[in-house]
Structure 1
């Protein structure tokens, strides 16, 4: 059995809440005054046949809308719903900005929903994208019908040590002003041992305008300084902010981002949540696409 679904009770016993994950001394407000950016996106409509409520798909750190192309097409086909796969700020074809925090990412996403007049949307996000859709749901519950968060939880939790190493490797690649992907891969290898991860990171490597060398299209220095912000979560008090609509949390059982200890906290912020375990690491969608697709389809068909 590759995937296991657990429907969680809406209320969990207070004895589960005595850990120190949720200090109650700070809160987050929607009126943050952040400047929203216009986001690039791909649109998947199954040849014009997809007419249901929209799905908006958000990638993770160092990713782009291209990462979710195959899954977006599959969901548009299986659910008869159009899918917007977006590039978050500082990623893909979207604009760059020195501010890279979840408040800003959520502001951009909400602006995207308004610009395209998307109502009753499902927001799907992986990793950084997962915390972004959680942030949108908690600060603006009316902006979506439900959310699907993939391998992340609404807590402050340190990123895996891999991510700072990835940044160091990408900085080394840029310093070398490489001319081929092969050169870049060789420099990156000590910082990212797994070939699929290097291939994922190198999808961001493009020829610099009017230059003979390759450069990352993502602003590596901005993202390097934002790693601590990506580990944080802007809400800390579920008594002040709660999303009462359906939410699906998909976690990789070989990943540490959604530990058993975080489940009661998820239940407080998202009392109608369901949990699906997939036998995978952090890269759930690429590692086990069929299990992920099936979990999403079952969750959303159940809500229709």
Structure 2
């Protein structure tokens, strides 16, 4: 059986707009899936946005830690076409930032602290630049507003995932092993393979990918790029990179400064692109320290 992407529900109003040929900035928002980790503080909550091929589960343990250390409520969100959120043919930063804005309105949250990793970081930047009144502070984890060129193998990852075949009736452990074996020639890093395999789910007597691989493939250029904004955000911003990662380089500093003039840039030692997974304690410490600083 050829492994297919999971067909999550698609919302009629969004599809009607998209079928009229509207671009990403005009696409109707979709109601995304989220988890809430409650805290007693009345301060604006933290809202975590994951990266490409990720899900809200990526930040669950960190969310619990941050509730305990800050007292703030923490929300983790599945981007459209990921996790338990609806699938949509449009996948741009204009569209995904609109999804998060819709969520804030649904939850009646006037402001939040946005924390986004990679694709989630660019979504957070787009929302912040479009609706700065909604953002108390911004944290971008190992990503900049420049075009992403550090990794070019995403299209190969998508093709390898689409090509995976798993027989019906096998147990989950066998299905996971078979999928990993078939991904190995293309996805040689075992950490990346395990990350991609978090998308393997069992539904209606078959194994499927819950991430919308078609939408990812069609919008990879949009996801690697970033919209051309002429506005700027004057609030507190932190760009938190991995010291062993190339995703935030000195070449990116001028564009960061242009769009986020109050931004700080920090690097977590001994961390790669998944800063929060490689060094969770320093990652949490950096966010807590940032929250405590008084805006200039």
Give the aligned partner of residue 205 of structure 1: 200
Give the aligned partner of residue 257 of structure 1: 247
Q: CA deviation at 1:158?
A: 2.9
Q: CA deviation at 1:203?
A: 1.0
Cα deviation per residue 1:46-94 (whole Å; 9 max; x = unaligned)?
Answer: 5xx3443211100000000000101111111111100010101000000
SS in 2 for 1:243: coil
- Matched residue count: 266
Query: Take 1:159 and 1:253, find their aligned partners in 2: how far apart are those partners?
Result: 14
Give the aligned partner of residue 80 of structure 2: 89
Instruction: Indicate whether 1:183 and 2:178 are aligned.
Output: yes
Q: CA deviation at 1:253?
A: 2.1
Q: CA deviation at 1:249?
A: 0.4
Q: 1:219 aligns with which of 195, 208, 212?
A: 212
Give the aligned partner of residue 192 of structure 1: 187
Instruction: Indicate whether 1:228 and 2:218 are aligned.
Output: no
Query: Take 1:137 and 1:53, find their aligned partners in 2: how far apart are those partners?
Result: 15
Give the aligned partner of residue 165 of structure 1: 156
Q: Aligned pair in 2 of structure 1 residues 290, 189: CA closer, same or farther (>3 Å)?
A: same
Q: Which has the higher contact order (CA 8 A, sep 6+)?
A: 1
TM-score (norm 1): 0.83
Cα deviation per residue 1:144-179 (whole Å; 9 max; x = unaligned)?
Answer: 111100011111233502322321221121x45574
Query: Take 1:254 and 1:286, find their aligned partners in 2: how far apart are those partners?
Result: 13
Query: Take 2:277 and 2:141, find their aligned partners in 1: how far apart are those partners?
Result: 12
Q: 1:72 aligns with which of 63, 67, 75?
A: 63
TM-score (norm 2): 0.85
Give the aligned partner of residue 265 of structure 2: 275
Query: Take 1:75 and 1:196, find their aligned partners in 2: how far apart are those partners?
Result: 25
Query: Take 1:190 and 1:299, find their aligned partners in 2: how far apart are those partners?
Result: 41
Query: Take 1:159 and 1:169, find their aligned partners in 2: how far apart are those partners?
Result: 20
Q: 2:236 aligns with which of 240, 246, 261?
A: 246
Give the aligned partner of residue 15 of structure 1: none
Cα deviation per residue 1:116-148 (whole Å; 9 max; x = unaligned)?
Answer: 111231000000000000001111111111110
Give the aligned partner of residue 17 of structure 2: none
Is the Cα contact below 8 Å between 1:166 and 1:191 reproduced in 2? yes
SS in 2 for 1:122: strand
Is the Cα contact below 8 Å between 1:79 and 1:301 reproduced in 2? no
Query: Take 2:92 and 2:111, find their aligned partners in 1: how far apart are those partners?
Result: 25
Query: Take 1:99 and 1:281, find their aligned partners in 2: how far apart are those partners?
Result: 30
Query: Take 1:165 and 1:289, find their aligned partners in 2: how far apart are those partners?
Result: 29
Is the Cα contact below 8 Å between 1:170 and 1:188 reproduced in 2? yes
Q: Which moved more, 1:98-107 or 1:217-226?
A: 217-226
Query: Take 2:162 and 2:25, find their aligned partners in 1: how far apart are those partners?
Result: 32
SS in 1 for 2:266: strand
SS in 1 for 2:26: coil
Q: CA deviation at 1:45?
A: 1.5
